[in-house]
Chain A
Amino acid sequence: MSAVAPKHFRTPLARVRGRGAAKSGTGDFWLQRVTSVAGIPLTIMAIVIGMLLLGRNQAAAAQILGSPAVAIIMVLFIVCIIVHMKIGMQEILVDYVPDESTKLTLLLANTFFCWAVGLASVYGILKLSFGL
């Protein structure tokens, strides 16, 4: 018995209850750290880019935002913050919404919101870059 490696680490009680470790719980934790480390330089660069564009007209703004380096930085910034904020909001919902069906609905809304805003922003930058 002791020579056999255990296939899982859930207690029999947890198995019976159908609860216990979700097994992939550290995935979000780690991804939140990865995106927070990446987010530091990306946020600083995004603030600088935003300040560079102050008061410029559409043609100038489009040209700067669509230039390769700026466009790549902005796409990285958006992907980074969208992934980070999806996990963050999910954490808040799980913490503060006790009702199961409300929580599920809001978790869905969170996923939809993050994908929609993220893809719209990335589309906005790529459109400028490729001049569509």
Chain B
Amino acid sequence: MAETRSLEGRAPAERPLSPHLQIYRLPLTMLMSGFHRISGMGLYFGTLLLAWWLLAAGSGPNGYAKFQWFSGSLIGQLILLGYTWALIHHMLGGIRHLIWDTGRGFGPQEREWLAAATIIGSLTLTVIVAAISYLAMGGSR
């Protein structure tokens, strides 16, 4: 809380501040912590796309064609790829958090391994999903 001086009416002592982000080197675990939050925020706004898709499916052929035009465009494809990656990454990161919730996985090697597994796993699964989707759509057209 901001109010630290009221206890004895004194100004807080000048204490050295903890070093911040720009001082530390960036470990993978820290990067994955940031990725988890950023992917969560991406998914937050991505739900607009999900809502559009579901409403478009019920709005008739014209409405759905508009959505398909967007999702088939280059920007649409990139957004969908990013959304898929964010979804998978956030899910794997979430599994890591659930492991931590049980009190496990905090060891020096374990946490590095978990962080690496999150990013390698999410990239691999995203490539697999994208490849299957690409082939299902008939490859390059």
Residues on A facing B (Cβ under 8 Å): 17, 19, 33, 36-37, 39-40, 43-44, 47, 51, 54-55, 57-59, 61-62, 65, 74, 78, 81-82, 85, 88-89, 92, 117-118, 120-121, 123-125, 127-128, 132
Residues on B facing A (Cβ under 8 Å): 1, 3, 6, 37, 40-41, 43-44, 47-48, 50-51, 54-58, 60-61, 63-65, 84, 87-88, 91, 94-95, 97-98, 101, 129, 132-133, 136-138
Chain A residues with CB below 8 A from B57, complex form: 58, 61-62, 65, 124, 128
Chain A residues with CB below 8 A from B137, complex form: 54-55
Chain A residues with CB below 8 A from B47, complex form: 81-82, 85, 117-118, 121
Chain A residues with CB below 8 A from B65, complex form: 58
Number of A-B contacts (CB under 8 A): 90
Chain A residues with CB below 8 A from B44, complex form: 85, 88-89
25 A-B pairs (CB sep. < 8 Å): A33-B98, A36-B97, A39-B94, A40-B95, A43-B87, A47-B129, A54-B137, A57-B61, A58-B57, A58-B63, A58-B64, A65-B57, A78-B50, A81-B43, A85-B40, A85-B44, A88-B44, A92-B37, A120-B54, A121-B51, A124-B51, A124-B54, A124-B57, A127-B58, A132-B58
